[in-house]
Structure formats: structure tokens, C-alpha cells
Amino acid sequence: MNKPAWSHLRPAPRVSGLTSHGQSLALPSSGELDALYMMGFDEWGDGMAKDDYLALCRSSEKYRKGTWYAFGDAGGEPVASVIAYQLALASPTTIIGLGSIATKDSTRRQGIACRCLEALMGAYQSHHGVDAFLLFADRETTLYDRLGFRPLPAELQRVPETTAMVCYANRDSAESVLVEGLMSGHIRYF
């Protein structure tokens, strides 16, 4: 029997009130979500019209399953976004999946995505005892390498044109759970 596409995901615990280099990481208002979705339009829009892309994002079950974060500039305008999921595991191990990491066109290549992820990952580690972070990179991996992410072994790379990467906070408790989850198909692309 096939599992529903996103059954392995649930919203990650919420963290808020974080700042890094004068920028803030917060839960976006419902009115800000379209701006966050549009940050990824050039990468994930696949030639769609903007209205069609926004409609797809608004109706996405996967997007509703996660916890969105907006990283705002000094004036509070969102300049980067990320969605976080807690992977549904039959274990006390906590693995947070990160996805849809994007920045506004005008603020790219300024280290903003890196600061956004550093703030979020730091908060999850200190407030929620996260054992590992998982992501699927569909672009170059340099940003993630700098944050301590490492590609998973080739036998765990199951999605063409992406690189599954992990950053362990507690490798001893998370590695076997992560490998077993990926090998069994319980943990899948998100």
C-alpha cells in the first residue's frame, strides 16, 4: 500500500524572535506568504505564469505541512525564506527537514540565506534538542557545505538532480534512524 505523499512530514516546532546581524527570523503573516513563494519562482516556477505558480503554492499540501519562516531585513521586509518540517519518526530522535530555501533576487549572494539558516538551526538545537537537519539541494551545495551539511552516501541519494544532505547535531542518535528511514522509503524527498 502506498503512503500518502507527505505522510512523513509534520510541522516543525515553532521558534520566533530570532535576530542575526540586525535581521529577524519570524513566522510570516498569511499576507506575506505570496512574497515568500515568489522568492523561489525563478527556480521552481518551471515556465509557469506567476498567477498559476502562486495558485499551486497556495494549494500545496506539502507547504501546508511545514512551518514557514521569513528572514527580514532591518526594516522588517522579508528577504529570505525557509520551510521546516519535523520528520515523523517512530523514534525519539528529532530530525528537522529544511526546504524551499530562497532569497529575493535583489539580495542574493550576500550571505542572507546562510544567516537565516544559521539562526534557525541554532534555535532548533538550543530550544528543541534537534539531532539532525536534512535537506535536498537542487542547486549548488556550497552554501550548505559552509553550514556543516554533508552529502549522504550514494546509496541514499534517491532523487535525481538533487543532493540529499545532512548536518548532524547528535550523530550517534540520528545516523542509524536517518539511514533506516531513507532506505525503507519512510523518509522521502520533501
Does 133 fall in a domain?
yes
The Cα 104–Cα 175 span in angstroms is 34
pLDDT at residue number 2: 54
Residue 137: CATH number of its domain: 3.40.630.30
Q: What is the mean pLDDT of residues 169-186?
A: 86
Using alpha carbons, list the distances in angstroms from residue 188 to 8, 55, 133: 7, 24, 14
Residues 6+ positions from 139 with CB-CB distance below 8 Å? 43
Does 144 fall in a domain?
yes
Name the band, by pLDDT with cuts 50, 70 and 90, for residue 57: very high
Does 3 fall in a domain?
no
Using alpha carbons, list the distances in angstroms from residue 130 to 36, 48, 177: 25, 37, 13
Give the per-residue SS3 of 12-68. Answer: CCCCCCEEECCEEEECCCHHHHHHHHHHCHHHHCCCCCHHHHHHHHHCCHHHHHCEE
- Considering only 51-60, 79-88, 169-178, which range has the smallest mean pLDDT? 169-178
Does 155 fall in a domain?
yes
Does 109 fall in a domain?
yes
- CA 132 to the chain's CA centroid: 12
- Report the predicted TM-score, pTM, of the whole model to 2 decimal places: 0.89
Does 119 fall in a domain?
yes
Residues of the domain holding 37:
9-184
Does 147 fall in a domain?
yes
Does 78 fall in a domain?
yes
Tell me how many domains the chain contains: 1
